[in-house]
């Protein structure tokens, strides 16, 4: 349960400035934390830190535990002696405002492989000992992940059910043969995860020491082409060939006549319950090593989820199936006292979803951009908020506030003007102020709204397969007036340490 008033910024690390094609865990991340402090902010909300999948989305990662190795700071690897000056020359095609993943991935992967080779070839016993300690501590997921990535690369990234049967079904002798024949490749993937872990741990410590807390993000479902599904096939609804028999989605609604077919395999919750939800507890424990509290995506799926036969081409012919509900969260509560979880309770929310959220005192989410379509009764309007809430102008899936306002229907715009007592001038700051003065204990602003950016700067457009997850800002976009206005608003509405002392 949230008890202190505070505010923060939503920004994925890839959106940070930086020399090597995308934001990472380097010096610009520390500079951003320093800026958060100067602007009176308490929280930095990141999106999933896992490896990107189709459409460059971190919500379809090849592992629920592994971090995105594209976030590794190359300059830090060079400081360790594992890369040279030539490796740190940026690609001439890199842009400061957008990520070009077709350039970014080969550039960074080549240097990560070089760093790994140098690390293993010139290993120093004291450093290597730290690496080995990490491998032992994280072995419950790291061994399977490194094996999965090694085999997947050998198999040209075909889905794992298309691998030779003895590998797809995890024959012990076949897996041992891979371990014996591919030690360098397995070592590479472990080295990358160690580098990710130690760099992020130092960055999180830097933030925490300055009073900034990290909000992480846990997708409810995992990708089929992942180490998790391959290594724990009994925990998922798969047929005898290892293919999903049913998949996740959401039913038809106002936004889509055919619903959304996500395609993720669904959990065999009966088996999870028999294990005491061990895999989920391990997953959440790992997520809480990376963050101070975590937002769990699609919270309503724990109450009931939309199950679609895998043979369908859209989500129309699905059905609601009961999820684990209270049993899972009782297990969480025993493992994690205080339950540092945010419930992403957006979408089709029924009374039983609210009941589960409130029973465990989990904060829900309110999005101000959703507030102006249904009159005074709309629960996204600030006068309906409760304290145990995290309120946003918008999330990564929404347009920027400026873009949203520019495309808002006239009747909603008229109501918004009336409700906000505004003519629409500087609407991003009007919206941020409306949230700040609300009773919601935490308010979060996308960085684009602080900078007053138009819709072309949005992070993600659900349903659009290309052009997402590419946005970056540059330091010259942050003006002193942005920092001063944010700090003043935060103090004025009692959301900073300074205001708490008054």
Hey, which residues are catalytic here?
297, 344, 397
**Which class for 372: exposed (0-12), middle (13-18), buried (19 or more C-beta within 10 A)?**
buried
Question: What is the torsional sign of CA 88, 94, 96, 97?
Answer: negative
Question: What is the torsional sign of CA 452, 455, 457, 463?
Answer: positive
- Residues 378 and 384 sit within 8 Å (Cβ to Cβ): yes
Q: What six digits make up the tokens of 358? A: 């409130």
Those residues whose C-beta lies under 8 Å from the C-beta of residue 132, and which sit 6 or more positions away, are: none
Residues forming beta bridges with residue 445, ordered by sequence position: 9
> What CA–CA distance (Å, rounded) separates 256 from 250?
10
Those residues whose C-beta lies under 8 Å from the C-beta of residue 492, and which sit 6 or more positions away, are: 436, 499
**Backbone φ and ψ of 384, nearest 5°:** -95, -5
Q: What six digits make up the tokens of 278? A: 């061990």
Radius of gyration of the chain (CA): 23
Cα of first residue to Cα of last residue in the chain, in angstroms, is 24
Write down how long the chain is: 502
Q: Coil, strand or helix: which one is 403?
A: helix
**Closest C-alpha among 370, 343, 348, 351 to residue 260:** 348
> What CA–CA distance (Å, rounded) separates 470 from 467?
7
> What CA–CA distance (Å, rounded) separates 245 from 312?
11
Q: What is the dihedral of CA 22, 23, 28, 30, to 10 degrees?
A: -160
482, HSE (Cβ side, Cα atoms, 13 Å): 17
Those residues whose C-beta lies under 8 Å from the C-beta of residue 28, and which sit 6 or more positions away, are: 16, 17, 18
- Residues 367 and 398 sit within 8 Å (Cβ to Cβ): yes
> What CA–CA distance (Å, rounded) separates 400 from 184?
45
**Which class for 344: exposed (0-12), middle (13-18), buried (19 or more C-beta within 10 A)?**
buried
């Amino acid at each position: 349960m949230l008890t202190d008033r505070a505010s923060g910024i939503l920004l994925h690390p890839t959106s940070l400035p930086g020399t090597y094609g995308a934001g990472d865990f380097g010096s610009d991340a520390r500079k951003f934390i320093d800026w958060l402090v100067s602007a009176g902010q308490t929280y930095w909300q990141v999106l999933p830190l896992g490896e990107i999948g189709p459409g460059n989305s971190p919500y379809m990662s090849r592992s629920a535990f592994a971090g995105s190795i594209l976030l590794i700071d190359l300059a830090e690897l060079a400081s360790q002696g594992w890369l040279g000056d030539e490796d740190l020359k940026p690609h001439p095609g890199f842009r400061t405002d957008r990520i070009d993943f077709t350039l970014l991935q080969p550039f960074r992967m080549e240097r990560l492989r070089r760093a790994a080779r140098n690390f293993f070839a010139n290993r120093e016993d004291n450093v290597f000992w730290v690496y080995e300690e990490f491998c032992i501590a994280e072995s419950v997921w790291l061994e399977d992940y490194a094996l999965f990535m090694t085999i997947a690369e050998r198999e040209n990234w075909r889905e794992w059910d298309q691998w030779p049967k003895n590998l797809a079904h995890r024959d012990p002798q076949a897996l041992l043969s891979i371990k014996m024949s591919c030690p360098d490749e397995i070592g590479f993937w472990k080295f990358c995860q160690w580098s990710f872990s130690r760099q992020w741990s130092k960055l999180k410590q830097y933030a925490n020491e300055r009073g900034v807390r990290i909000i992480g993000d846990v997708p409810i479902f995992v990708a089929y082409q992942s180490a998790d599904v391959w290594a724990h096939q009994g925990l998922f609804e798969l047929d005898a060939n290892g293919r999903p028999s049913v998949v996740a989605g959401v039913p038809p609604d106002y936004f889509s006549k055919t619903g959304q077919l996500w395609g993720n395999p669904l959990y065999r919750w009966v088996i999870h319950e028999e294990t005491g939800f061990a895999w989920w507890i391990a997953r959440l424990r790992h997520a809480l090593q990376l963050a101070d509290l975590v937002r769990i995506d699609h919270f309503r799926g724990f109450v009931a989820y939309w199950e679609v036969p895998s043979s369908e081409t859209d989500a129309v012919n699905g059905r609601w199936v009961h999820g684990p509900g209270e049993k899972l969260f009782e297990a969480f509560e025993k493992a994690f006292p205080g339950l540092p979880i945010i419930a992403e309770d957006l979408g089709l929310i029924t009374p039983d979803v609210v009941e589960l959220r409130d029973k465990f005192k989990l904060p829900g989410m309110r999005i101000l951009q959703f507030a102006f379509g249904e009159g005074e009764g709309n629960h996204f309007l600030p006068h309906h908020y409760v304290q145990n809430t995290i309120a946003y102008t918008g999330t990564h899936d929404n347009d920027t506030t400026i873009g949203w306002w520019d495309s808002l229907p006239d009747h909603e715009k008229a109501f918004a003007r009336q409700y906000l007592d505004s003519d629409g001038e500087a609407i991003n700051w009007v919206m941020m102020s409306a949230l700040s003065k609300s009773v919601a204990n935490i308010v979060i602003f996308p960085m684009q709204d602080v900078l007053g950016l138009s819709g072309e700067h949005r992070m993600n457009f659900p349903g659009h397969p290309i052009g997402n997850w590419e946005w970056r800002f540059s330091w010259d976009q942050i003006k002193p007036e942005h920092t001063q206005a944010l700090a003043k608003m935060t103090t004025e509405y009692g959301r900073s340490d300074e205001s708490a002392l008054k």
